Amino acid sequence: MEQGLEWDAETRRDEVERVARTLPPGPVVVGGDLNSSTLNTPRRRLLRAGLMDLHRAVGSGAGVTRTRWRATFRIDWLLTSRDVTPVREWVDEQRGSDHSPVVADIGLPR
């Protein structure tokens, strides 16, 4: 089991590194299940690449997207390029998944 988790973590790091290196110019939104909290490498690497965490910018509430083993986590994220204007971001009601959806209103440059 540990080997599987290790492989998953390495694969996730490789995927995030590829995204960070190939971010196109102009407005960009990156979202999904990064399996990464605020302190883990995948999210931090994308922030170092210049993306902005919408929850930190304009989010409401605790932002919990996953509950497991009586613990709560935020591992699902919406990140944008700096030319996107964050308006609001929230975690919606969990339906049909073990993760809650992250939703945002944003403004795009003209």
Inside any domain, residue 41: yes
Number of independent structural domains in the chain? 1
User: What is residue 106's predicted lDDT score, i.e. its pLDDT?
Assistant: 97
Range of the domain at 83: 2-103
Convert the pLDDT of each residue in 47-83 to its tens digit: 999 999 999 999 988 887 887 676 677 888 899 999 9
Name the token pair of 11. 């694969």
Name the token pair of 74. 């935020």
What is the SS3 assignment for 17?
helix
Inside any domain, residue 110: no
Q: Going by C-beta distance under 8 Å and a sequence separation of 6 or more, which residues neighbour residue 43?
A: 34, 36, 37, 53, 77, 79
Full-model pTM: 0.83
Looking at per-residue confidence, does 98 or 18 come out higher?
Answer: 18
Provide the CATH number for the domain around residue 22: 3.60.10.10
